Structure 1
Amino acid sequence: MNGRPVKLAARGLWKLFGAGAADLERLGPAPDDAKLASAGIVAGVADATLDIHEGEIFVIMGLSGSGKSTLVRCLSRLVEPTRGKVLLDGRDLLQASKAELIELRRHKMGMVFQNFALLPHLSVLGNVAFPLDVQGVPRGERERRAREMIELVGLGGRERELPHRLSGGQQQRVGIARSLAVGPELWFLDEPFSALDPLIRREMQNEFLRLQNVLKKTIVFITHDFDEAIRLADRIAIMRGGRIIQTGTPEELVLHPADSYVAEFTREAPRAKILSARGIMRPLQDRVAVAGAVDARAKVHAIAAKVEASERPFLVEEEGRPVGLVDRAAIMEVLLGRETAA
């Protein structure tokens, strides 16, 4: 991904449940669902392989029971995988001792879950400073860092409030500030906004993007909502039955769904906000009069008005180099919801 190093990776990762789960080896290297079922085994995660790059927002999504939360818990080793590798900066976490894992979680990983899990007897400041207290950070330093995080998430002035006096969105901001207080390199978020009403959820998505623009964390984010996924994600992995069906950018998933399951996820997606000029362009032609140029990365909704208003096509440029043409017909195909060829 644009030359960024891989921060977190999974290689052939499995998490199986059932009486015969520990005896996976006898089923072969990659047993299919029928073989697992015949052995009385349920796959929470089945043969997952992925790379997550530094500074990337990597979204894992699927329907309820698809395995997305189990996968994230395996990646953080909150759940022990049955087989495979989890590599953090190239180091296999499955070889780490319990003490090493505790240190990794305290200093390198942040976690936010759907349940805010705030300590009711502690103030906002106390909740945010709590993980630093567990680390043994002196009081002055931990309160200074906690105040910085509280300001960062927009709760300055509420430091002394108890959780029950805060709205749901404010409580989730406290949870986010608490997870950021330790300065994690890797940030796991498991459906953190799904319990919020739609307006607050949208507000929190905006806040999340603002924070990422400042902090540049490596983020693994779980959701079942494709609209949320496309707003937030650099790339998306779609799961079904414990398996990763397809991984790609939102545009790649819309243009090239791997199967009908992925196509159904993307069917109602706002294509004008997902597809780029590059995604809908046609090949360059000699001696074609053009009306101007658009950036290859520009989304359709941003260029629709000027392209649709012109009888001439526009050049699509990438780093100043023409790579294709986009015209009124291509724009209208997207706006009217017809299939668009890449």
Structure 2
Amino acid sequence: MKTITLGASGIQSSIMGLGCMGMSEFYGERDDVQSRATLERAFELGVTHFDTSNVYGRGHNEQLVGDFIRDKRDGVMLASKFGVVRDPGGTQGSTYDRDIDNSPAYMRQCCEESLARLGTDVIDLYYVHRAAPGIPIEDTVGALSRLVEEGKIRGIGLSEIDGDTLRRAHATHPIAALQSEYSLWTREAERDVLPICRELNITFVAYSPLGRGFLTGAIQKADDLAKDDFRLTSPRFQGDNFDRNLAIVAHVNDLAQRKGCTAGQIAIAWLLHQDRDIVPIPGTKRIKYLEENVAASQVALDPSDLATLEALLPIGGAAGSRYDPNFKGNPEAVKP
């Protein structure tokens, strides 16, 4: 597994990470034994970048990851987040029981709680999970810089912000990484954010590189998902949008068959072919899919393959928006 330095931070990361959210919530029942085995296998395969958040499973995910890294902390690049507030009485797995708080007091509280759950004295990469509307990003990043000075975090990350906000944040304190959704069916970052990341030497961390699992071709109908699966709230997984997206993925699968790999591997390989400054963090709780994802780094796409994918899924090519417009964490509705 090759490595990359995150921006100018000096923080080293594997070129592919593991998104850990689904091990605790949102994608069906949790299985800690299975998830722990998957975490261990990822480390064996050279994955050092593990992505979690204080809100995944209401703290459960950080505890799970913390137990896993306890005897290997020096070999792990640990990323977590703050900024989303979950309703203590809300339903587990609900995408609606939340608000956003970027205040310095809440930031410090979250950081201290995350450090305790993770069982470490420093978080390598600490993200603003969602920027709060109406709060200048300079204030948020300025408060985070004090956590850097205190040695509680090593690098600052942002998630799902626009290019102008990124510039303002970076001018306040160097940003190590920007994490946003990026995949064959979510390419809007190419219009604005990615060019600025490259200009400012900020690493782009791509979450949901498999289109929340849709690009694997494994989801053929909505009934394939659990009734409480949060993906069912996305317009892309509903009605005619679902059918149109399914037809597109069928063509991706045709290419995969010609290349002797899976549709999911094509999706990850496409990201890795965009540039070395992009780190995909596909999430899974199963060893089988982890190994498949890691093996995507060996899939070579030639110019003809890339042109085929460009024709199938240009920017805006997916049917439907990413989020329900009523979802408070909808980045398309927030500008700090």
Shared fold, TM over 0.5: no
TM-score (norm 1): 0.29
Q: Which has the higher strand share?
A: 1
Q: Which has the higher helix share?
A: 2
